[in-house]
Structure 1
C-alpha cells in the first residue's frame, strides 16, 4: 500500500487538500507533517499547528508536528530578504521545507510526498512542482503535483474553512513577506506581544481559545466560536515621574495619548483621587499596584494613571503616554456544549492582564471540561469561554442570554 506524506503549512490550506487526497488515493495511507520554520513569531506557529491538528483529527489523519527551526530558515534565506513574493526567497523556502519533509517520509517508510502549499493562490504552482519533483527524486520518492485549486478547489477550501471556523492568517508567516505587504507603518502588530499575558484581542488570547477548543473536541464535545469586533487599545509607552524620580504606575485601559509632556502639581487628595492643577490628566492612588480591570466598557478616554499611595500635596508629577486605538480588533467567545438548550452555565474567560495574571490557566479550564464531559454531552451543562473580559466584559455582553441569572 502506498504511504503519502503530506507537508502541511496551515489548517486553511489543508482543509480541502487533504479531503481531495483521500478521495483521489482511497487505498493509500496519508500522513501529515506540519513543518514551517519560516513562521514568526512562535505563537503564530503554534496557532497554525493547532488548526492543522483540528483538521487532521477531524479526517482521521495522523499528523506529526515538526520542530520550530526559525534560525535554520533565517540562515537559508540570508541575502534574499528583499525578494518579492514568489521570488527566489520563496523557492529557497519551498526547498527547505520539502527537503525536510522528504527526509521524514523516508524515515516513516512513505513512498510519495506532496504539499498543501499547492492549494494557496499566493504560491507559484510550477515552482512548487519543480522543487517537489527534484527533492523527491533525490530521496527516491514520487512527488504528487496536485493542483488543488482546479474545479473550484479554492472556493471549496474557503467554504470548508468557514464551516470549521479555522483561523485564517493574513500573511504567509514569513517576516520578510510581511514587511513587503506593510509599508510605512510604525510597527507590525503580527510580530509584537504586549506583555507576558493574553491581552484582549491578541493572538495569544486566540491561541488560548483554540487550545481549549482542540481539547474539548478531542473529548467528542460540540464546540462553536463566535467572533466579535471591538475598539482595541494598547499602551505603546508610558512614563510617570514623582518629584523628578520615575515611579511605578499603571495606565487605565482606553486612556488617550498625551501630546508631549504634562507637568502638574498636586493641589489636594480626596479619598483616592489626586487633584492636580492640570485637568487633562487624572490620577488614582492605590495601596496595591496591579493591572486595572474594567467591569464596564469605558466611554471617556481621559489619560488616567494609577499610582501607589506615596503622593502628597505639593508634589510635582510629570506624565508621558503614548497609546494606540484599533477600531477593528477582534476577539471570540467559545461555547462548549449545546448552545440552544442547557440547564447549567459555567463561565470562564480567555484574556489575562499583561503580566499573565487575573485569568484562567489552560489546565483549570480543561480539567473542568473533562470532569463534566458527560453533563456537557447530555446537554445539561454549557461551558462558555468569553473573550475580552478584562476590558469591560465585552464577550459576555455579546452573549444572547447575558441578562439571565444562573
Structure 2
C-alpha cells in the first residue's frame, strides 16, 4: 500500500486538497505534516496549526506538527528579502519546507510526497512541481504534482473552508512578503503583539477560541462560531506626568488620541463610590484615581471618547499634569462567539468569555473552560448543557449584544 506524506501549510489550503487526495488515492495511507518555519509571528504559526489539525481530525488523517525552525528559514532566505512574491525567495522557501518534509517521509516509510501549497493561487505551480520532484528524487520518493485548483477546486476549497468556519489568513505568512503587501508601512498590526493578554478582536483572542474549539471537537462535541464586527480600539502609546514626574498609569479603552502634549492643572477632585476623578483646567481629559492601579472593564460600550487616564497616585488640586496619548480606532475589527453543544435548546447554559485586559487579567484560562467541558461532557452530548464563550466582554460586553 502506498504511503503518502502530505506537506500542509494551513487549514484553508488543506480542506479540499486532502479530500481530493483521499478520493484519488483511496487505497493509500495519508499522513499530514505541518511544517511552516516561514510564518511570522509564532502566534500566527500556532493559529494555522490548530486549523490544520481540525481539518485532519475531520478527515481521520494523522497530522504531525513540525518544529518552528525560524532561524533556519531566515538563514536560508538571507539576501532574498526584497524578492517579489513568486520570486527566488519563494523557491528557496519551498525547497526548505519540502526538504524537511521529504526527510520526515523517509523516516516514516512513505514512498510518495506532495504538498497542499499547490492549492494556493498565490503559488507558482510549475515552480512547486520542479522543486518537489528534485527534492523527492534525492530521497527516493515519488512527488505527486497535483493541480488542486483545476475543475473548480478553488471554489470547492472556499466553500468547504466557510462551512468548517476556518480562519482565513490574509497573508502567506512570510514577513518579507507581508511588508510590500502593506506598502512598507511603519505599523503592521499582523506583526505586533499589543499586550501580554488577549485583547478584544486580537489574534490572541482568536487563537484562544480556536484552542477551545479544537479540544471540544476532538472530544466529539459539535461547535459553532459566530463572527461579529465592531469598532475596535488599540492603545499605541501614552505618557502621564504629575509635577514633572512620570506616573505609572493605565488608559480607559476607547480614549481618543490627544493631539500633541496636554499640559494642564488639576482644577477639581470629585469623590465617587470606588474612586476619585481629577478634572483639569483645560482639555477634555480626566484622570481616575484608584487605590490600586488596574484596568477597568467596561460594562457598557463607550459612546463618549474623551481621554481617561487611570492612576493610583493621590493627586490634589493645583498639581500640574502632562498627558500624551496616541490611540487607534478600527472600524472593521472582528471577534467571535463560540457555542459548544446545542446552546439554544439546552436546559442550562455555562457562560465564559475569551478576552482579557492588556496584562492578561480579568479573564479565563484555557484550563478553566476545558475543565468545564470535561465535567459536563455527558450533559453536553445529551443536550442538557451548552457552553458559550463570548468575545469582546471587557470593553462593553459586545459578544452578548451580538446575539440579540
Q: Which runs of 5+ in 1 are unaligned?
A: 401-406
Q: Is the 8 A contact 2:343 2:349 kept in 1?
A: no
1:309 CA drift (Å): 3.9
Specify which of 362, 369, 391 is matched with residue 366 of structure 2.
362
1:255 maps to: 255
1:279 CA drift (Å): 3.5
2:142 maps to: 142
Specify which of 387, 391, 401 is matched with residue 387 of structure 1.
391
Counterparts of 1:43 and 1:281 in 2: how far apart (Å)? 35
- Give runs of aligned pairs for residues 319-398 of structure 1, distance below 5 A: 319-398=323-402
Whether 1:155 aligns to 2:159 is no
**Residue-pair matches, total:** 400
- Listed one character per residue, the Cα deviations across residues 309-353 of structure 1 (whole Å, up to 9, x for unaligned) are 421111100000000110000000000011341111110000011
TM-score by length of 1: 0.98
Counterparts of 2:365 and 2:279 in 1: how far apart (Å)? 39
1:184 CA drift (Å): 5.1
Whether 1:11 aligns to 2:25 is no
Corresponding residue SS for 1:224:
strand
- Listed one character per residue, the Cα deviations across residues 142-176 of structure 1 (whole Å, up to 9, x for unaligned) are 00001100100000000000000000000000000
1:398 CA drift (Å): 1.1
Counterparts of 1:315 and 1:253 in 2: how far apart (Å)? 25
Corresponding residue SS for 1:346:
strand
Q: Which runs of 5+ in 2 are unaligned?
A: none
1:100 maps to: 100
Counterparts of 1:123 and 1:382 in 2: how far apart (Å)? 42
Q: 1:302 to 1:216 in 2, by over 3 A?
A: same
Counterparts of 2:161 and 2:343 in 1: how far apart (Å)? 21
Q: Is the 8 A contact 2:179 2:185 kept in 1?
A: no
1:403 maps to: none
- Give runs of aligned pairs for residues 2-401 of structure 1, distance below 5 A: 2-183=2-183, 185-271=185-271, 272-400=276-404
Counterparts of 2:59 and 2:373 in 1: how far apart (Å)? 23
Counterparts of 2:389 and 2:136 in 1: how far apart (Å)? 45
Corresponding residue SS for 1:151:
coil
- Listed one character per residue, the Cα deviations across residues 164-203 of structure 1 (whole Å, up to 9, x for unaligned) are 0000000000000000101153311000001110000000
- Listed one character per residue, the Cα deviations across residues 19-71 of structure 1 (whole Å, up to 9, x for unaligned) are 00000000000000000000000000000000000000010000000000111
Counterparts of 1:305 and 1:298 in 2: how far apart (Å)? 15
1:288 CA drift (Å): 1.1
1:140 CA drift (Å): 0.3
1:219 CA drift (Å): 1.1
Counterparts of 2:233 and 2:13 in 1: how far apart (Å)? 31
Counterparts of 2:71 and 2:295 in 1: how far apart (Å)? 35
